[in-house]
Amino acid sequence: AGAQGSGAMGGSASLIPRDLLGEYQELTFLSKQEILLAYRRFSELLPKEERENACSARVPKSQILTLPELRANPFQHRICHVFSTSETGDDSMSFEDFLDMLSVFSDSATSDIKSHYAFRIFDFDNDGILDRKDLEQLVNCLTGQGEESRLSSAEMEQLIQNILEESDIDKDGTINLSEFQHVVSRSPDF
């Protein structure tokens, strides 16, 4: 989500009130230019009438998924779900949700907060732990949509077995947040 490549830097959009901008800078890992750029990208997703008060508008999920950075991502639906604060459960995002998302994915975010959100993204059934079903769905997301690229059920079984062997410290058959963070903190690639 750091690749905001196609935005042309036009005139300064100071449509965010200054004190709010300062607060956003305090509360996210983004710099001022990045917040303004995010604001521009966000308002482009809105229909023209609503662009004036983009700060309080909500963008439906289908619109968010048209962003190129999310379009190619296998976890697009989970990401929208995790960062959305919509009360109706339709996974629409407000500008603040959008900022939250960008802040977590930015380069300067700490590994702690990234792993926290990664856990929530991978937790497909939202029960706070990664059990077998979650892991299976995770693998299916990663191997793409085509039929020939999916793993056979024997391979899947083997894979999940190996993963649980490696990461499940208390042997309860699931991976909780601290186990997840332990595994991921050792990885140079995360």
Partner 1 sequence: DGSDDNEEGSAVENEENAKGAGKKRATPRTRRTHARGRDRHGNEDDEDDEDGMRRAAPRRHRSRRRGRAAGNEASDSDMEPAKARKNQANQKSKEDDEEEEDEKGGKSGKGKNEKKGDKKSDKKGKKEKANKKKKDKKKSGSGSDSESEEEPITEEELAKLKEEVEEKKKLIATLRNKPWKMKKKLSVLKEAQLFVEKFEGALGKGKGKKFYAYKVMMMKKWMKFQRDFENFKTACIPWEMKIKEIESHFGSSVASYFIFLRWMYGINMILFGLTFGLVMVPEALMGKPYGSLPRKTVPRAEEATAMNFATLWDFSGFAQYSVLFYGYYNNQRTIGWLKFRMPLSYFLVGVGSIGYSFMIVTRTMAKNANDDGGGDDTSFNFSWKMFTSWDYLIGNPETADNKFASITTSFKEAIVEEQESRKEENIHLTRFLRVLANFLALCTLAGSGYLIFFVVRRSQQFALEGLENYGWWERNEVNTVMSLLGMFCPTLFDVISSLENYHPRIALRWQLGRIFALFLGNLYTFIIALMDEINLKARYFLLFTMFDRLLGNIEALQSLEEEKIVKYNMTIWEASLYNGTIPENSTAPPIQVDPADVPRGPCWETMVGQEFVRLTVSDMMTTYITILIGDFLRAVFVRFFNYCWCWDLEYGFPSYSEFDISGNVLGLIFNQGMIWMGSFYAPCLPAINVFRLHTSMYLQCWAVMCCNVPQERVFKASRSNNFYMAMLLFILFLSTLPAVYTIVSIPPSFDCGPFSGKTRMFEVISETLEHDFPSWFGKVFGYASNPGLILPFILLMVLSLYYLNATSKSYKEANLELKKKLQSVRIEN
What is the contact surface with partner 1 in residues (CB under 8 A)?
1-5, 23, 25-29, 31-34, 68-69, 71-75, 85, 96-97, 99-100, 103, 105, 110, 112-113, 116-118, 122, 135, 138-139, 142-146, 149-151, 155, 158-159, 162-163, 166-167, 169-171, 180, 183-190
Max CA-CA distance within the chain?
57
Are 179 and 159 contacting, i.e. CB atoms less than 8 angstroms apart? Answer: no
Q: Which is it for strands 58-59 and 93-94: parallel, antiparallel or unpaired?
A: antiparallel
Which of 68/128 has CB closer to partner 1? 68
CB of 109 to partner 1, least distance (A): 8
Task: Using the minimum distance from each CB to partner 1, give the nearer residue, 37 or 49.
Answer: 37
The nearer residue to partner 1, 4 or 63, going by C-beta atoms, is: 4
Find the shortest distance in angstroms from Cβ 48 to partner 1. 25
Instruction: Provide, rounded to whole angstroms, the least separation between the CB of residue 167 and partner 1.
Output: 5
In angstroms, the first-to-last Cα distance of the chain is 15
* Distance between CA atoms of residues 92 and 84, nearest Å: 6
Q: Would you state the structure tokens that stand for residue 143, as one six-digit string?
A: 């191997």
CB of 10 to partner 1, least distance (A): 14
Tokens of 2: 């750091």
Closer to partner 1 by CB, 47 or 73: give it.
73
Give the tokens for residue 179: 């186990």
**C-beta of 53 vs 162, nearer to partner 1:** 162
Residues 100 and 28: beta-carbon distance below 8 Å: yes
Tokens of 144: 């793409």
Q: How many CB atoms lie within 10 A of CB 106?
A: 16
Alpha-carbon distance of 185 to 100, in angstroms, equals 22
Find the shortest distance in angstroms from Cβ 132 to partner 1: 13
State which residue, 112 or 127, has the beta carbon closest to partner 1: 112
Minimum Å gap between C-beta 152 and partner 1 is 9
